């Protein structure tokens, strides 16, 4: 296996692992929100059916959480083994988000167990709802902190003009809170050592890091910087809304399927579908509104990704985007022609990194990024088309509260709409995540670090990834089986 | 970053994790033993079922703390993790595979109950129990490596011999010491639990006495394996050997003295052996049984403190010298000690509440049945 094959295989396996883990995240976030709202409405209206639906949802969350926590450890472990160079990020920019995530994770676990086993045990039902609220807060906080780490890798906030020194088309990434000499020395060494796959990661060793820190001081002066990025803020909003809408519509689809299977308690199931579909529809509409802000930060902080998603092989106007962003349908957006030209006319032609001129690096990487156009552009346009349809369906779902007479006797239509959204929302999110990740290439940390610099050099990485993915697949199948058994065979977790 | 708070945070999460892992390894085997016993004694089936519920609950806590350890290791001990990942790559693979098998087999053991034949169910149970032993089989390589870095050819540029790392001479005695210790702790913890529950069920008194006996008798092989490990340290890890023998062997000196915790561990072991045997002979002495679980866990803590604090000021020992702990602590970013410790406080508080609730529910269910 050559180096390129080795990296591609590791990247593909890692993507698969992340997608499988993402399913559990969508369920945990979406179901949590659904639980919170269903319980709230159920208590206010003293509606036993909604409270029953909320309790069922909490059981599913518990099962998913246990499997998610276990497989999450495998993902972390696998990530460290296969991509050991990621330690550089983990030990610096990601340190505070990960450390805070520990608190959120433990709080999430504790309150979830508590809320599940205390249904009906409190005299005042609002006490139980407070537990649910705390749990939901912890789940969303956990999701937000993890997203902030991924966002830093998309837009390395806090490095100021360092990326711009190499890539002239790059923006300024916030205030300079990084030790430039340390970072440049590190990058210089990574480029020098990256002739072979994983060569760069050999530098992430204690003696070299100690030598660099003894010479330059700490790499990072503001450990909170990853949480201050505008790119991160928009990503958190966008990702949490996306994951929640997927989970909520999956919950609605679950109840919808039970209606179609003509199980008993149809009034209970329909009430659950109606409420959940309405929550999901509001989330999809909210996501649509925030998509503009997400697009704006991509335009500002990831010029190559914006060119990919807008299909800008050459600079040209995009009437809709131009109008929404600048109020000018004729605004000409920079395409890869301009980006490559900027790289060729490098303002720092004498800058040498690892024995290679910055201009050469900039041109090669910009061209490499443009090669993903055939993959990213169709995915993005498909995503936008699905999003458009989803917005229309969401409006139709919400019309149930306005055009009550029309919907009378058309219950089955709502069931099918909920099921359709149970397919559309994950398709939309899946494509969105693929665009986010592939659009970042050829870098792992945008403009700073490549995948081949951080992969573990030993040939066993792919084996480890295979084992981890295998574990995730087995875990996922078991999780689905457990949910099925728990819901259909009335098996209770932890009880008689 | 100051290494002391980073060490304390790691020590806290590691000890919580090890507590539940050790109890769980023993409980897994106990559940299988009770399931086997249920072929002739139907009442034992319920006991076996409840044991596996505790296994599942403990697995949640140890799983959550396993995640915490991973994050703390790569956040605080960045350089160390990189060395371990590179050199002990295949050793860690053993743990990864074992985790997958363990989780799968716990679920399979639970959900196939009553749906397949007893013998087939026992085979699944055995896979579940044995896979629990293989999780530390991978991770204990790290501890053996820290005491004697077999396979580490050089640190800059980092180079390791994976095969040599797998043949670390300290590994076999350390692993056996871990396995026997975990089984002993699991059975002694179960003895305390059964003794407490026997207030409502006379049937459980017999189980309390038998598990106390097994847990206590396991102290004997634990002592033999412990002696093997102790003597291996004298030749492969002299600094640690000296640290735990200061005052016990004349002429021995070391920068760190952990002889008190070592001695405490040995004395608690002797107490557990005696108390377990006495309780087996006189099951009415219920207060004796109550001491078994906390003291067995305390002996685990003393053992871990002896081994891990005894290396100080080094993190990896290399014969008569070592690689300083300062070399491995994260220097990419500065976090003050107060911030580090403040973040751990809510984790500790939440964990106590979490574990209390979990055990309250499980014990209540156990008592009611």
A84 touches chain B (CB under 8 A): yes
A70 touches chain B (CB under 8 A): yes
Q: For the residues A392-417, what does the mean pLDDT come to? A: 89
Q: For residue B75, what pLDDT is reported?
A: 85
A312 touches chain B (CB under 8 A): no
CA distance A108 to A213: 36
Contact B82 A206 (CB under 8 A): yes
Nearest CB to A210: which of B67, B327, B335?
A: B327
The answer to whether the beta carbons of residues B102 and B128 sit under 8 Å apart is yes
What is the per-residue DSSP string for A98-134? HHHHHHHHHHHHHHHHHHHHTTTT-SSHHHHHHHHHH
Q: For residue A493, what pLDDT is reported?
A: 42
Contact B75 A98 (CB under 8 A): yes
Nearest to B103 by CA among A77, A24, A470, A71: A71
CA distance B178 to B140: 8
CA distance A49 to A264: 13
pLDDT band at A495 (very low <50, low <70, confident <90, very high): very low
CA distance B269 to B280: 17
Contact A464 B57 (CB under 8 A): no
More confident residue, A93 or A409: A93
Q: For residue B106, what pLDDT is reported?
A: 86
The answer to whether the beta carbons of residues A427 and A246 sit under 8 Å apart is no
Hey, where are the domains in chain B?
A: 3-368
Q: What is the DSSP letter of A170?
A: -
Convert the pLDDT of each residue in B223-258 to its tens digit: 999 999 999 999 999 999 999 999 888 888 888 999
The set of long-range contacts for A448-451, using a CB threshold of 8 Å and a minimum separation of 24, is A448/A156, A448/A159, A448/A162, A448/A163, A448/A187, A449/A85, A449/A88, A449/A187, A449/A190, A450/A194, A450/A200, A451/A7, A451/A10, A451/A11, A451/A83
From chain A, pick out residues whose CB is under 8 angstroms from the CB of B68.
102, 105-106
More confident residue, A350 or A176: A176
What sections of chain B are H helices per DSSP? 3-37, 43-76, 78-87, 89-111, 118-147, 162-166, 171-197, 202-217, 219-236, 238-245, 259-281, 286-309, 325-328, 337-368
Asked whether residue B89 carries a pLDDT value surpassing 80, the answer given is no
The alpha carbon of B331 is separated from its chain's Cα centroid by a whole number of angstroms, namely 30
Nearest to A134 by CA among A107, A102, A98, A101: A107
Asked whether residue A117 carries a pLDDT value surpassing 90, the answer given is no
Q: How far is A96 from chain B (nearest CA, A)?
A: 9
Whether this prediction's pTM lies above 0.95 is answered by no
Nearest CB to A478: which of B83, B107, B335?
A: B107
End-to-end CA gap in chain B = 52
pLDDT band at A491 (very low <50, low <70, confident <90, very high): very low
The answer to whether the beta carbons of residues B174 and B229 sit under 8 Å apart is yes
From chain A, pick out residues whose CB is under 8 angstroms from the CB of B157.
202-203, 205, 208
Convert the pLDDT of each residue in B120-172 to its tens digit: 899 999 999 999 999 999 899 999 999 999 988 888 777 788 888 899 999 99
Convert the pLDDT of each residue in B193-230 to its tens digit: 889 888 777 888 889 999 999 999 999 999 999 999 99
What is the per-residue DSSP string for B197-232? HTTT-HHHHHHHHHHHHHHHHTHHHHHHHHHHHHHH
Burial class for A463, CB neighbours closer than 10 Å (0-12, 13-18, 19+): middle
More confident residue, A77 or B139: B139
Q: For the residues A75-87, what does the mean pLDDT come to? A: 72
Q: For residue A266, what pLDDT is reported?
A: 73
| Helix, strand, coil shares, percent, chain A, to 5 | 75, 5, 20
Asked whether residue A304 carries a pLDDT value surpassing 80, the answer given is yes
Any idea which of A110-114, A175-179, A192-196, A299-303 has the lowest mean pLDDT? A192-196
A194 touches chain B (CB under 8 A): no
The answer to whether the beta carbons of residues A216 and A179 sit under 8 Å apart is yes
CB pairs under 8 A between A and B: 206
Q: How far is B354 from chain A (nearest CA, A)?
A: 5
The alpha carbon of B191 is separated from its chain's Cα centroid by a whole number of angstroms, namely 18
């Amino acid at each position: 296996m050559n180096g390129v094959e080795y990296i591609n295989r590791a990247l593909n396996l890692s993507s698969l692992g992340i997608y499988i883990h993402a399913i559990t995240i969508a369920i945990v976030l979406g179901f949590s929100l659904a639980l919170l709202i269903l319980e709230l409405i159920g208590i206010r209206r003293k509606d036993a059916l909604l409270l029953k639906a909320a309790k069922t949802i909490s059981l599913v969350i518990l099962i998913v959480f246990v499997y998610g926590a276990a497989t999450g450890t495998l993902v972390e472990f696998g990530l460290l083994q296969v991509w050991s160079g990621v330690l550089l990020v983990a030990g610096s920019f990601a340190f505070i988000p990960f450390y805070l995530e520990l608190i959120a994770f433990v709080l999430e676990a504790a309150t979830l167990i508590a809320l599940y086993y205390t249904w009906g045990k409190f005299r005042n039902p609002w006490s139980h709802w407070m537990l649910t609220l705390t749990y939901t807060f912890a789940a969303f906080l956990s999701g937000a902190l993890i997203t902030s780490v991924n966002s830093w890798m998309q837009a390395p906030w806090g490095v100021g003009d360092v990326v711009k020194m190499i890539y002239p088309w790059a923006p300024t990434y916030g205030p300079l809170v990084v030790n430039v000499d340390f970072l440049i020395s590190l990058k210089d060494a990574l480029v020098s050592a990256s002739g072979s796959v994983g060569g760069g990661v050999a530098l992430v060793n204690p003696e070299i890091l100690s030598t660099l820190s003894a010479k330059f001081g700490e790499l990072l002066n503001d450990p909170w910087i990853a949480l201050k990025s505008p790119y991160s803020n928009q990503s958190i909003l966008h990702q949490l809304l996306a994951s929640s809408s997927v989970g909520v519509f999956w919950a609605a689809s679950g109840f919808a399927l039970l209606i179609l299977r003509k199980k008993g308690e149809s009034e209970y199931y329909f009430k659950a579908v109606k409420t959940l579909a309405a929550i999901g529809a509001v989330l999809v509409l909210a996501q649509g509104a925030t998509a503009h802000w997400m697009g704006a930060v991509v335009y500002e902080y990831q010029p190559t990704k914006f060119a990919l998603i807008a299909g800008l092989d050459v600079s040209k106007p995009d009437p809709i985007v131009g109008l929404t962003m600048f109020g000018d349908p004729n605004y000409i957006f920079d395409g890869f022609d301009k980006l490559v030209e900027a790289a060729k006319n490098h303002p720092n032609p004498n800058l040498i990194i690892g024995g290679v001129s910055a201009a050469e690096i900039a041109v090669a990487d910009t061209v490499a990024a443009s090669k993903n156009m055939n993959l990213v552009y169709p995915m993005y346009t498909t995503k936008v088309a699905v999003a458009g349809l989803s917005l229309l369906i969401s409006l139709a779902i919400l019309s149930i509260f306005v055009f009550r007479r029309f919907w009378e006797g058309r219950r089955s239509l709502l069931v099918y709409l909920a099921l359709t959204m149970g397919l559309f929302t994950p398709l939309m999110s899946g494509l969105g995540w693929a665009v986010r990740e592939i659009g970042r290439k050829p870098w792992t940390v945008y403009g700073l670090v490549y995948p081949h610099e951080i992969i573990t050099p030993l040939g066993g990485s792919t084996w480890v990834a295979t084992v981890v993915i295998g574990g995730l697949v087995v875990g996922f199948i078991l999780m689905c089986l457990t949910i099925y058994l728990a819901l259909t065979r009335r098996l209770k977790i932890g009880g008689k | 970053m100051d290494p002391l708070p980073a060490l304390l945070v790691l020590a806290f999460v590691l000890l919580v994790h090890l507590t539940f892992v050790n109890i769980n390894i023993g409980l897994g085997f106990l559940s299988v033993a009770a399931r086997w016993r249920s072929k002739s004694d139907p009442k034992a089936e319920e006991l076996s079922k409840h044991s596996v519920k505790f296994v599942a609950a403990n697995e949640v806590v140890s799983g959550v703390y396993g995640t915490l350890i991973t994050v703390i290791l790569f956040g605080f001990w960045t350089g160390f993790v990189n060395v371990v990942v590179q050199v002990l790559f295949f050793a860690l693979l053993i743990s990864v595979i074992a985790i997958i098998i363990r989780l799968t087999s716990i679920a399979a053991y639970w959900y196939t109950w009553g749906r397949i034949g007893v013998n087939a169910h026992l085979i699944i149970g055995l896979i579940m129990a044995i896979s629990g032993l293989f999780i530390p089989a991978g991770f204990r390589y790290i501890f053996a490596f820290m005491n004697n870095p077999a396979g580490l050819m050089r640190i800059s540029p980092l180079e390791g011999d994976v095969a040599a790392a797998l043949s670390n001479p300290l590994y076999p005695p350390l692993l056996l010491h871990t396995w026997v210790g975990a089984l002993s702790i699991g059975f002694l913890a179960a003895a305390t639990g059964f003794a407490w529950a026997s207030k409502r069920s006379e049937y459980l008194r017999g189980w309390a006495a038998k598990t106390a006996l097994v847990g206590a008798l396991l102290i004997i092989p634990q002592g033999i394996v412990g002696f093997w490990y102790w003597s291996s340290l004298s030749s492969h890890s002299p600094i640690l050997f000296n640290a735990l023998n200061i005052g016990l062997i004349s002429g021995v000196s070391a920068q760190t003295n952990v002889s008190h915790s070592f001695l405490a561990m040995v004395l608690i072991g002797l107490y557990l052996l005696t108390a377990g045997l006495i309780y087996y002979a006189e099951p009415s002495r219920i207060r004796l049984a109550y001491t078994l679980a906390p003291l067995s866990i305390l002996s685990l803590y003393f053992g871990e403190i002896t081994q891990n604090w005894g290396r100080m000021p080094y993190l990896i020992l290399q014969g008569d010298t070592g690689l300083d702990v300062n070399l491995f602590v994260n220097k990419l970013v500065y976090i003050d000690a107060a911030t580090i410790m403040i973040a751990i406080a809510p984790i500790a508080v939440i964990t106590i509440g979490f574990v209390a609730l979990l055990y309250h529910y499980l014990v209540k269910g156990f008592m009611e049945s």
